[in-house]
Amino acid sequence: MKITRLLSASLCFASTLAFSSCSKENESVTASNDVPQAVLGQIKQLGFTTQGAAQVEGGYLVEGDIFLTNENLASTSAAQLLRVGADEQYRTTEVVSVGAGRTVSVAVSSVLPAAYVTATDEVIRRYNAENLLIKLVRVSSGGEITLTEAPRNARYLASAGFPTGGNPFNSVKVNARSIGTANPATYIATILAHEIGHCIGFRHTDYMDRSYSCGGSVSNEGASTVGAVLIPGTPATADSNSWMLACIGSGANRPFNANDRTALSFIY
């Protein structure tokens, strides 16, 4: 996500923008000229914007905070349920297999400040309070999702990927140097809840026009065959408080709203 002042996160935050969000901030500081045209085509085919796409260790970063591996880029899906339109909740074509119920473990690397443990506990409380088939639990190590420090040269606040093979994406990279340690149970928890949302298969609510939360010019990713599946029951009008909006104001808090709860309960 992005934020409204000097930070950027994916919640992406850009230090030079009036708005920051996970996707927009990175778009303002990265260029796609280091990404091969063939890869840009794969990114677009999967339903993601190529604006600001950047090559990072192990794959590519798109939309400011979404990590795509080479395996992701080579994958295909038969899903044809893409809708490009007004602000609604969207998921990817991959979600976590939960069966009759599944508990996903989350670990916080010891290199992160203690505030991130506090924030993670709040994230777990928020998800588990929704009585979903997917539950979260914090473990000391070996989590199915591990929060760890982002590279020192990272231009994002946090990044994550999407599920594969029925399992959550296994890593959330956190730029703690940029985020800081203030407001762990609100602001930091909102950032981490957003990234874990990606890990279990949610797209940005405003993927079709990130200017809605990030400011700037209208940015619509356009049509594709896969990548953004409309979740029934979510609104066809703007949703200004969704936890999966691409950008967020500095220090803000976004607990799940009614539409977020509809989206979460529909999938899980």
Residues spanned by the domain of 143: 79-267
- For residue range 113-156, list pLDDT tens digits in order: 999 999 999 999 999 999 999 999 999 999 999 999 999 888 88
Question: Over 70: is that where the pLDDT of 92 sits?
Answer: no
Provide the 10 A C-beta neighbour count for residue 203: 25
Residue 168: inside a domain, yes or no? yes
Give the mean pLDDT of the chain: 76
Residues 163-173, mean pLDDT to the nearest whole number: 94
> Predicted confidence band at 50 (pLDDT cuts at 50, 70, 90)?
confident
Strand 145-149, strand 134-139: pairing:
unpaired
Residues 7-32, mean pLDDT to the nearest whole number: 34
The Cα–Cα gap between 245 and 242 comes to 6
Residue 153: inside a domain, yes or no? yes
Select the highest-mean-pLDDT range: 78-82, 198-202, 212-216, 259-263: 198-202
Residue 240: inside a domain, yes or no? yes
CATH number, residue 124: 3.40.390.10
Residue 221: inside a domain, yes or no? yes
The Cα–Cα gap between 66 and 60 comes to 8
Q: How many domains does the chain have?
A: 1
Give the predicted TM-score (pTM) of the model.
Answer: 0.75
Say if residue 140 is exposed, middle or buried (CB neighbours under 10 Å; 0-12, 13-18, 19+): exposed
- Strand, helix or coil at 14? coil
Select the highest-mean-pLDDT range: 138-142, 154-158, 159-163, 218-222: 138-142
- Strand, helix or coil at 253? coil
Give the angle 144-109-134 at the CA atoms, nearest 5°: 30
Q: Where are the alpha helices (DSSP H) in the chain?
A: 22-29, 37-45, 70-74, 115-128, 176-179, 189-199, 211-214, 258-267
Residue 191: inside a domain, yes or no? yes
Residue 197: inside a domain, yes or no? yes
